[in-house]
Chains A and B, each alone.
Chain A
Amino acid sequence: MLEYLWLVPAIPLIGSLILVLSQGKLPELPAAIVGAGSIGLAFLVALLAGMEFLSSGDVAYTQHLWTWMAVGGFSADFNLYLDGVALVMMLVITGIGFLIHVYATGYMHDDPSFARFFSYMNLFVSAMLILVLGDNLLLLFMGWEGVGLCSYLLIGFWYTDTYNGYCARKAFVITRVGDASMALGLFLLYTSVHTINIQDAMGVAQQQWTVSSSVANWVTLLLLGGAVGKSAQLPLQTWLPDAMAGPTPISALIHAATMVTAGVYLIARTHVLYEMAPSVQYLVGLIGAITLLMAGFTALTQSDIKKVLAFSTMSQIGYMFLALGVGAYSSAIFHLMTHAFFKALLFLTAGSIILAMHHEQNIFKMGGLRKDLPWSHALFLIGTIALVALPPTSGFFSKEEILGSALMHEDGGFLLWLFGIAGAFMTGLYSFRLYFLVFWGKKTHDGHEVMGLHLQGPLVILAILALVGGWIVIPVAAVFPHGEEHHVPLFYQAIMLALPILGTLTAYFVFVQQRVDVKALAGEGFGARLHHFWRTQWGMDWLYDQVFAKPYATLARINKNDFIDSIYNGTARFAVLMHSLVSDTQTGQLRWYAITLASGVLLLVTIGVLV
């Protein structure tokens, strides 16, 4: 059974290879068929595999493809591992990926590098599938780096603009910091448990480690470093807003639905290790909590439609981390899935708006677009209410689950819950701020809806998923430990229900009724400073500039002449000097040699006479 599982990552890879080998000479239609078709085919195979897997009732299925490398006592297999979590991830990646690919065939229409775009996209999907399907940490790491590379390539897709290249480099370098930490974590884990197979490693760790031992803390902390870098959480979150420089489908696929959630997947996958290190696990939740609030505040001050969504993504991943921190792994994966639905929907609709507004991304230059863009309006509204988690959308179910788990968590869960509901209020506020600013208010610019089955079709499907995705039951019960059924007191439930609505209403009063003059509030004095502080992600970019970039540049400037090299250069220069001194005595003139000879004789005879 399931022998065809390898096709799932292989088909996108083949698609990518075809597009790469065509050297961009492929016309748009065949390139679109190969690019989107390969993902569609992969989705069908994944669906088939999923159905077969679920009907078999197995906990997990492992497919051994080949032995990757074997050196001494170390060996790594190229194995695919399918269980409930991997299945959810696989279906999200191929399913959402397929919809986004279809959308992208419309969005990237007439781009000169059409085929190159889809070759990167396919490569990304393939790498992401290897990441979630890999049965050992090395394979996972390969996929991890592969998606990082594709993210870099796609952020800098329009590389002729140097700003895009700068953004791509920033994303690459900052995630590299996390990846280095993750690699160290993997090394440390291997030296401790002597296996890189994830399931085996977790089994060994459970038997051999003691809870909160230093090795458990260090391994989980280092892996968390990798997860934080990839998932744009504090303190490595600064790259995500700049990653919006890429085409919008990229932002939807990589920087909302799939890649940035890889950190969540990593921690969920290795949750047994985190159970061995409760303090680090709580740190995971705390990072998520702080990030979701910080990103919420920052989203409130942004003016670029895509950056608002980027910070919203950061904030939602913060919720997932929060869930991981309180041991609600299935809630985290569930929120990951619903978030993929509505955030992909929001990004793609934003892409439609950007197309309709002729590549204008500033929300203050939009407004009153309800009538001009009825499709985008409806779809964006659906995405927004799902994001804000109003019932009965998918976001409501997943977020309610997370907050409920946080509330029921004994150690410090209440603190995280407080962060969470504050974030829920912020989500309502900034999401509807965005919605009202774009679609309500005074109309300043005309927009023309770009229509097409391949544009609106995927959006409608995503909208349906965003609305009803909450009823999907994800098959992860066999993977994660069962938390006890929690009954959240009615009082708290009311709070959780009320705060998003409160946020929405606040947004309505402020941005539609304009009861509060925002411009005046943020224009001067303390308000202005607070606005600036929020806008700059609580000064994180500035901090990194001061702590890392500037001292490094200063050191580099001091050591411009490389003082260590000057020792070797000095030796060489001394040798050259001595050489030229000796060389100068060789004048090539016979008389000079004769005089030297005579002087020598004189000296010797003088010695002979005197002694």
Chain B
Amino acid sequence: MSVLFYASAFVSVLATLMAITRINVVHALLYFIVSLIALSVIFYTLGAHFAAALEVIVYAGAIMVMFLFVIMMLNLGKPTEEQERVWLKPGMWVGPSLLAAPLLVELVVMISGAKAQTQAGVINAKDVGIALFGPYVLAVELASLLLLAGLVGAYHLARK
């Protein structure tokens, strides 16, 4: 089981790395989807089956398809790729990396201080559903409001 976790983690990191360095948008998107699916596996190994399912359905399915639609609508072709090549010189990575590296080191230091095991066991959709419509019912309402606002906003903004 832990083998599955570490393998998926490796795939996930690698795919994400590929995703942020691609020149072609669609390629990047596909790498990101791979990363998401790997994460879904990790959720499964952590016993969060419901989350794993949502990760594939909502994230990899719905959201990424939305990206894909927009990319298709913008009809970005070869010129954009050329543009990306010009923009993404190796030197461009130096600054952000220098900023990100110490942050990562610090996070690692902080995380490694917390020694604890995740508990084996499945938290299934039923548990989640009971909690969701129990103590968290207000959060559900808020999320639905947010989605409604997003819906209206997206409709308004994308109008010609």
Contact = CB atoms under 8 A, between A and B. Distances in A.
B110 A609 contact: yes
20 contacts: A595-B95, A595-B96, A595-B99, A598-B96, A598-B99, A598-B103, A599-B99, A601-B103, A602-B99, A602-B102, A602-B103, A605-B103, A605-B107, A605-B110, A606-B102, A606-B106, A608-B110, A609-B106, A609-B109, A609-B110
Interface in B59-108: 95-96, 99-100, 102-103, 106-107
Nearest to A599: B99
Interface in A571-611: 595, 598-599, 601-602, 605-606, 608-609
Contacts of A602: 99, 102-103, 106
Contacts of A605: 103, 106-107, 110
For the complex of A and B, the 6 pairs showing the least CB-CB separation, nearest first, are A609-B106, A605-B106, A602-B103, A598-B99, A609-B109, A602-B102
A598 B106 CA distance: 13
Q: How would you classify the secondary structure of chain B's contact residues: helix, strand, loop or mixed?
A: helix
Contacts, number: 23
A135 B100 CA distance: 95
A609 B109 CA distance: 8
Interface string B108-121: 01100000000000
Interface string B24-42: 0000000000000000000
A604 to B, nearest CB: 10
Interface of B: 95-96, 99-100, 102-103, 106-107, 109-110
Interface residues of A, number: 9
B88 to A, nearest CB: 13
Interface of A: 595, 598-599, 601-602, 605-606, 608-609
A598 B107 CA distance: 14
Contacts of B100: 598
A598 B110 CA distance: 18
Nearest to B105: A609
B109 to A, nearest CB: 6
Contacts of B102: 602, 606
A598 B103 CA distance: 9
Contacts of B103: 598, 601-602, 605
Contacts of A601: 103
A372 to B, nearest CB: 102
A453 B71 CA distance: 109
Given A605-B110, A609-B106, 11 more contacts: A595-B95, A595-B96, A595-B99, A598-B96, A598-B99, A599-B99, A602-B102, A602-B103, A602-B106, A605-B103, A606-B106
B89 to A, nearest CB: 15
Which residue of A595, A608, A609 has the most chain B CB atoms within 10 A of its CB atom?
Answer: A609
Contacts of A599: 99
Contacts of A598: 96, 99-100, 103
Contacts of B96: 595, 598
